[in-house]
Structure 1
């Protein structure tokens, strides 16, 4: 066996392994969600429109969504001060965690906790702009035992 064949075989294996790794990291476990017409917020069903979301059964932290909501529906909730949007996959364009973090810090978005410890150890948060643009994600709440 020549060294050239060995090298080509090794490089071919690396390319296939890298492609599989990228697939499983960024695509394999995510499921697109659409057609969601309402969210349960503080025990009440609140209508939303233009819902685009992703989620996965492999981790509660993979939930991300963008939608339109009436800002008055969340106006009575207390703002969440510890909201930290997590980075989603690069192909889910409507959810930009960096921009959301900047908008939260600048006051262009207000975050609200809509579910606490559901599932255990995770909170579900939304961020809403005055024009009704909304975003949804889950984050760790620090109560995992």
Structure 2
């Protein structure tokens, strides 16, 4: 009898722990990011000087987490034309969106990735080193829907692996 009780307690503890871990990963660590009245929510990097500049957008919706710098996801719409965007802002040849939690319905990484692969969507550098070693990437579809996410850049990969930084990388910030 004691063995069955003890075994049942182990199974119950594992089940509660699994449910708690799932909830924390999918819901618990994410916070909504409020729009900041057209200030700096959506930025693209200018071709002219390499500086990030806010663009026109509406319907901004975003989530982020303090637990990881690459959990940021955002959705928005823009009325800016593809011609204006491609002539003004730094485009990326390759961009791969990261999955968002299923409850953040506006961000569908598969749809965005397929659109980027097919050449329907345009990928831009949103902001270089939004955090050290992390770039913000922005993709815009022909219908004006836009999406943003954070990605580890080349210098970040080296720094986070604990390797010595090459000369072209900025120095790590002091804690």
TM-score (norm 1): 0.90
- Is residue 37–residue 51 contact of structure 1 (8 Å, CA) maintained in 2? no
What residue number does 2:60 align with?
Answer: 51
2:106 to 72, 90, 94: 94
- Is residue 37–residue 47 contact of structure 1 (8 Å, CA) maintained in 2? no
Q: SS of the residue aligned with 2:58? A: strand
Structure 1: gaps spanning 5 or more residues: none
- Is residue 44–residue 138 contact of structure 2 (8 Å, CA) maintained in 1? no
Q: SS of the residue aligned with 1:66? A: strand
Q: SS of the residue aligned with 1:7? A: helix
What residue number does 2:24 align with?
Answer: 24
Alpha-carbon distance between aligned partners in 2 of 1:36 and 1:94, rounded to the nearest angstrom: 19
1:111 equivalenced with 2:114 (yes/no)? no
Moved more, 44-53 or 124-133: 44-53
Alpha-carbon distance between aligned partners in 1 of 2:78 and 2:117, rounded to the nearest angstrom: 21
Q: SS of the residue aligned with 1:74? A: helix
Structure 1 or 2: larger strand share?
Answer: 1
Provide runs of 4+ in structure 1 moved above 6 Å. none
1:67 equivalenced with 2:70 (yes/no)? no
1:130 to 136, 142, 149: 142
Alpha-carbon distance between aligned partners in 2 of 1:115 and 1:140, rounded to the nearest angstrom: 12
Alpha-carbon distance between aligned partners in 2 of 1:80 and 1:23, rounded to the nearest angstrom: 35
Q: Following TM superposition, by how much is the alpha carbon of 1:46 offset from its aligned partner in structure 2, in angstroms?
A: 1.9
- Is residue 37–residue 49 contact of structure 1 (8 Å, CA) maintained in 2? no
Q: For 1:1-52, what per-residue CA distance to the aligned partner results, in whole angstroms no more than 9, with x for missing partners?
A: 5222112211110111111111221111100124344323333322311111
CA RMSD of aligned residues (A): 1.7
